[in-house]
Amino acid sequence: MRKRRQQKALAALNYDLFYPENLNPPAPATIDTRIREHAARDRAARHQVPAPAPVDTTTGLPSVAELYRRFDLYNWMYFEGKLPRVRIEYSNRMTSAGSYTPEAKLIKLGRKYHELFPQDIDDTLKHEMIHIIHFYHDAAFKREARRIGCMLKARSHPSLRRPPKYLYRCPGCGREYPRQKRLRMASCGYCSQGGKFDARFKLRLVESRTSKKTD
């Protein structure tokens, strides 16, 4: 009886020690799987927190070389690296935050604006990057701005306001339209129907910097 119990115990022990596990090797990785794994590792490396940015010691703003580096970083982070390379520069004349010129493939960042609001430099750069694929501030642009998290409008500041060069007036309702640029074919937005040009309410130039009242 005792011998029989020992044999059962040994049988159970052998079962526990030598019960066959699932030793089948994993399925071999396909080329597509390896490409995706490599791309994931590459994206992870690119998305690491960047080193402290080189700055222009005279203004405290990022250097142009640093702006190019950030452009490449955001291009991979938000646009899968699909945006074409463009020129980037600061403008000492403009009072707005930034601009993008498709013909010249040029992003300009206003130096005066960002000396007042240095914390907005990345926001402005991302804003202008969206303009590469969506030139107008339309619904598609706004969706992209929400997706990557950047502001739609720049901040205002008294020192950034320039006196208008031209003043126009509607002959119908008398509303005035101060403008920096000369208007050619523009009518009053309140009197015209459907936002279309209406010759009856064509805006008249009444004042400019170089001339007196011309009404």
Structural domain includes residue 102 = yes
Residue 189, pLDDT score? 86
Q: What are phi and psi of 40, to 5 degrees?
A: -65, -40
Residue 81 pLDDT more than 50?
yes
Note whether 170 and 119 are same-domain residues. no
Same-domain pairing of 106 and 120: yes
For residues 101 and 193, the model is more confident at 101
Q: Picking from 72-81, 118-127, 148-157, which range would have the lowest pLDDT averaged per residue? A: 148-157
Query: What letter would DSSP give residue 10?
Result: H
* Shared-domain flag, residues 168 and 146: no
- Residue labelled with tokens 């339309």: 138
Structure-block tokens of residue 23: 């030793």
The reply to whether 106 and 149 lie within a common domain is yes
Domain end, chosen from 124, 144, 159, is at 159
Give the whole-number percent of the chain exceeding pLDDT 90: 46
Mean pLDDT of 69-84: 96
- How many other C-beta atoms can be found within 10 angstroms of the C-beta atom of residue 62? 22
Residue 187, domain extent = 163-208
In a domain, 97, yes or no: yes
Q: Do residue 72 and residue 132 come from a single domain?
A: yes
DSSP string, 91-142: ESS--SSEEEETTTTEEEEEHHHHHH-GGGHHHHHHHHHHHTT--SSSHHHH
CATH number (domain holding residue 66): 3.30.2010.10
Do 129 and 174 share a domain, yes or no?
no
- By C-alpha distance, which of 155, 105, 98 is closest to 127? 98
Can you tell me the distance from the alpha carbon of 188 to that of 174, in angstroms, rounded to the nearest whole number? 9
Asked if 137 and 54 sit in the same domain, the reply is: yes
Same domain, 91 and 190: no
CB-based burial label for 79 (10 Å; 0-12, 13-18, 19+)? middle
154 shares a domain with 52: yes
Report the domain count for the chain.
2
Higher per-residue pLDDT: 34 or 45: 34
User: What pLDDT score does 78 carry?
Assistant: 96
Could you tell me if 97 and 180 lie in one domain?
Answer: no
pLDDT confidence of 20, banded at 50, 70, 90? very low
Determine the average pLDDT of the residues in 16-44. Answer: 58
Q: Residues of the chain with pLDDT > 70: what percent? A: 69
